[in-house]
Structure 1
């Protein structure tokens, strides 16, 4: 099946093709594909699973993200002449030329992808994706699919933890582009932070591609670039209703500053004129969006006073300023003082809206500092998070893996000296068991051919990581976690926008019991094997042990 032409692709699909071409993979994928091809095994039907072994950040859950891009990647997967010529140059010169002809004709028309819905809460060892198709093709997909899922799921999960730490009443602004691991890392972080629960991004390209609300005001450099009110130009601004002549904003602001200083008992001599000039200039440029950073010098002695003077001038002209940003020092203490001054101005100047101006806090915020912020008195409405969100400083990788579980209808299993690295063989169905209160309490892995568990009926299963003893459980509800999303070269499941997936995340998290959502020392969620799958694992282990003994004896 031919891939859609670039003319028929939207900006998201073009972005995926540019960022994730089929050469964005490890060289050994091609060397293995060639060996399969030489052996005549390249068309054998194989099944791989994608999963992670441990929940990230020592937490109780993860969020699955990246499926949207995986589907667009599969739909557009094909090698160009230029791709094939480069592969000729890096593979050994003894490589059969017919292999390159084979590569030129490859696509994903024979691949079927079954997947958990994007935005779903997931747990360690649960297969997120099952990829079935010709052995050579599904082998070549490994690295790209892992690349698309690993970081997206990690940063989405990190964002969800920040959201839980912040609580529902506070807005979160993602502002990590400058600290991200390259342009693509920054764009991915903005997208999946929003999906994970952030409200806004500073990343303009993310707003363009994904429809994420964009926010931002000024940096300290804008403030420190001014030294005098003489640098302000223009110096006038028309009233919001357009009536009358433009007003001299500098004169108006100077008058307001004197009144503010008298109200607060402040010392005018400590006020920075350059900072005032910066605020006046910015307010004239954006009278409806005035939200400056007020800690370039001193919040209490200069920044807050200058802001109030300019903001009151904007109210005088019929505009409504937005608020302030604090970016250093004790954010909680400063925000309380700022709100106190806002209330005084609101009462003294009879402007009720002044009391509800927004206070934004940004200062190397981590999950820990977010939790601590909530324990202290503060008046912060919006928290901006950058480095610790996008770089996932607590854990830099989710560690998703892509493992073979079946070839030609026969289960395959990796048996490792490290039990954690052993795989669970065979094609599977994945079910989520839900209790009477509507909370998921166990994910059950079954062989695909098994009948599904039935609500209200007891079943025996074997929890992973336990002492191999069975457990009996009775679900109140049962849901099937995976569904067909790609088949015969086509996406068979609706592609969701970032906003739609964000809503799914919140719904999925709301169903999770609080003991599994705790940021510190959460209860472990149970993932278990059905009786038949457990028996299959035991048989393959036994066969492997017997085979090894046979080899040693001979």
Structure 2
């Protein structure tokens, strides 16, 4: 079987590999799927590359067990579009593959001189959204709108997943619980770990253990210790108690991990020191065992000391622990936060040169035309959403999609994490309880406007009369 990427090129490149596979903002334009470039070649060859195109990013269906999503990743999407350029060396690398031998000179000139010049509409980060609603729309020359698909899906799909998980965790744990993001070692990549930390904080968590992410975001990183420190110092200095004392010499009063050997025995020894005034202690962490039973026993021994739990926790496990009466004040969230059911966002053409278009494949139908989400409220709660055309008049509704970039430039200032987190909190609070629940959630009804329904029928009719299957 042959592929576009011939084996000779693969062999030639093996001696020139960048084994680190790191990238910077200068690499953004090449961080794409090959077919985006091959389509751009075709558009250019056919002379339609500058036609105005509109693509919308949406989710066909929510992940199983989810009643809503929290939109996230827009800040990184805007940053990417601002930096979208092809350097001379990148163009040379593409030419060197031999894949684009039939590409016209105009295609290469387009890459050399081009940058993103389009408009972007999006729902603000932290907004609750549902299936078949556009989280973002790109309106730009066809070649630009096409090439940016891969990166936009990457950042918005992943951060939306993490933000939604974080919002659900906060909703279940309650506002008083301390929620810490511990997922760096389980995230799908170093870059993914940074995005996960950001989305988790914006989605409702209090802090992250990722030092780079925290400092880049103007936050203070959080963490305690690992079992390795307790085992190493216990082995060398003699006892677990001495290990705790050694740690407190450098981090006075810091939370201690107490389940390396015997959790209750460790708590009893710490209680004596705390009660005698010999030790100040701001928390203990449990990472294994029966967290319900252990937390109750530790609470009886250390009544004034916050108890943190970790170890493959998620919103369902936190709900179970709370229902069972666990005495836990905070949770460290890792693996199940930064992994899990993917958000399967798609990026589809909805209008080309003023002509509405739609996909009609079985199970993958899209609505044509540039759209707006109109949200109505009753008693402070979301009543219904209406998916309509961009130029429709709101009917005592709030339009959700906002213009965030115009002619390639941002038109709104960058929002702080605190602002986005507040919006997330308000968005979740505005949802009906049946939409927020973990078991068999019922999503908010999304109505299709009469105008959009009419356009859909007209588009289908036009396709049939044109002779297309």
Aligned to 1:411: 356
Aligned to 1:382: 330
How far, CA to CA, are the matches of 1:143 and 1:290 in structure 2?
Answer: 43
Aligned to 1:424: 367
Alignment of 1:193-212 (within 5 A): 193-212=200-219
Aligned to 2:181: 174
Aligned to 1:493: 412
Q: Is the aligned partner of 1:103 residue 2:111?
A: yes
Compared CA separation, residues 166 and 130, structure 1 to 2 (3 A): same
Compared CA separation, residues 132 and 94, structure 1 to 2 (3 A): same
Q: Is the aligned partner of 1:292 residue 2:292?
A: no
Aligned to 1:215: 222
Aligned to 2:268: 305
For the Cα contact (< 8 Å) 1:212–1:498, is it kept in 2?
no
Aligned to 2:381: 439
Alignment of 1:199-278 (within 5 A): 199-227=206-234, 273-278=238-243
Deviation at 1:18, TM superposition (A): 3.2
Q: For residues 302-357 of structure 1, what are the alpha-carbon distances to aligned partners after superposition, in whole Å with 9 as ceiling and x for unaligned?
A: x11332345457x34xx732121111111111111111112xxxxxxxxxxxx321
Deviation at 1:212, TM superposition (A): 3.3
For the Cα contact (< 8 Å) 1:275–1:306, is it kept in 2?
no
Q: Is the aligned partner of 1:41 residue 2:75?
A: no
* Secondary structure, aligned partner of 2:167: helix
Aligned to 2:12: none
How far, CA to CA, are the matches of 2:296 and 2:256 in structure 1?
Answer: 18
* Secondary structure, aligned partner of 1:58: coil
How far, CA to CA, are the matches of 1:30 and 1:182 in structure 2?
Answer: 25
Equivalent residue in structure 1 for 2:298, among 338, 342, 358? 338
For the Cα contact (< 8 Å) 2:179–2:206, is it kept in 1?
yes
Aligned length: 447
Deviation at 1:130, TM superposition (A): 1.3
* Secondary structure, aligned partner of 1:43: coil
* Secondary structure, aligned partner of 1:130: strand
For the Cα contact (< 8 Å) 2:45–2:103, is it kept in 1?
no
Deviation at 1:23, TM superposition (A): 0.5
How far, CA to CA, are the matches of 1:150 and 1:212 in structure 2?
Answer: 24
Compared CA separation, residues 130 and 76, structure 1 to 2 (3 A): same
How far, CA to CA, are the matches of 2:90 and 2:434 in structure 1?
Answer: 50
Could you tell me which runs of 5 or more consecutive residues in structure 2 were left unpaired when the two chains were aligned: 1-21
For the Cα contact (< 8 Å) 1:56–1:154, is it kept in 2?
no
Compared CA separation, residues 19 and 510, structure 1 to 2 (3 A): farther
Query: Structure 1-normalised TM-score?
Result: 0.77
RMSD across aligned C-alpha pairs, in angstroms?
1.9
* Secondary structure, aligned partner of 1:56: coil
For the Cα contact (< 8 Å) 2:116–2:408, is it kept in 1?
yes
Q: For residues 414-469 of structure 1, what are the alpha-carbon distances to aligned partners after superposition, in whole Å with 9 as ceiling and x for unaligned?
A: 121x1x3111001223211222x12122221222333x1333xxxxxxxxxxxxxx
Could you tell me which runs of 5 or more consecutive residues in structure 1 were left unpaired when the two chains were aligned: 1-14, 233-272, 343-354, 456-477
Larger radius of gyration: 1
Compared CA separation, residues 446 and 323, structure 1 to 2 (3 A): closer
How far, CA to CA, are the matches of 2:249 and 2:66 in structure 1?
Answer: 48
Q: Is the aligned partner of 1:369 residue 2:312?
A: no
Aligned to 1:23: 30
Query: Structure 2-normalised TM-score?
Result: 0.91
